[in-house]
Amino acid sequence: MHNLVKGTYYTTIQAALDDAGTGNTIEVADGTYEENIIFPINKAIILSSVNGKGVTTIKGTGDDSVVTISGCPDGTILDEFTITGSNTAESGGGILIEGGCSPTIQNNTISENNASYGGGIYIKSGSPIIGGADEDNDTANFNIVCQNTTDGNCTTTNQIFPNTYSHNYICISCAGCGGL
């Protein structure tokens, strides 16, 4: 991992994220990285692979979300990874988004994850932009889940475009909805 702003190299993605400052870009070299990563709160960081999702994999260690993004400011980006290897009883196997943040999740393959809700992506609170995702996950209930727990989350600011989803179904439950 290479922090382009600091010019520093790291042995794990998490170490690079922990040391990064707002506005830093971290490029990840080809390979499989067996770790669960957590984006730091209140830092807009761009995390991208050098040569794309076909050769750069974040493989979770099993019991948690592979990627957790919580409380991040605009400008946080996750780009060009294969995200796999979660088997959690919690929500958000591949990616968990919470804390009201609105990251950009683009050009990722999110596959072979398992969770109670949101095997691929679980949006607890926030309005992410999700684009160019390929998903094929096992999950007890739903592949992408958007849980609107506070005002303004998971509304029309969400954009999900040129994606391929397989082995999924959609369920919408709306109590007190109006003004669509």
Distance CA 123, CA 101 (A): 10
Which are the contacts of 14, defined by CB distance < 8 A and separation ≥ 6?
35, 37, 38
Distance CA 60, CA 83 (A): 8
> What is the mean pLDDT of each successive set of 10 residues along the chain, which is 180 residues long?
90 96 96 96 95 94 89 92 84 83 87 76 78 59 51 41 50 48
Amino acid at 135: E
Predicted pLDDT of residue 5: 87
Predicted pLDDT of residue 154: 42
Distance CA 49, CA 78 (A): 9
The residue count for the chain: 180
Predicted pLDDT of residue 14: 97
Three-state SS for 19?
helix
Phi-psi region of 144 (alpha: psi -120 to 50; beta: other; left: phi over 0): beta
Tokens of 6: 């600091």
**What does pTM read for this prediction?**
0.80
Predicted pLDDT of residue 44: 95
Does the CA dihedral 73-128-31-93 come out positive or negative? positive
Predicted pLDDT of residue 143: 52
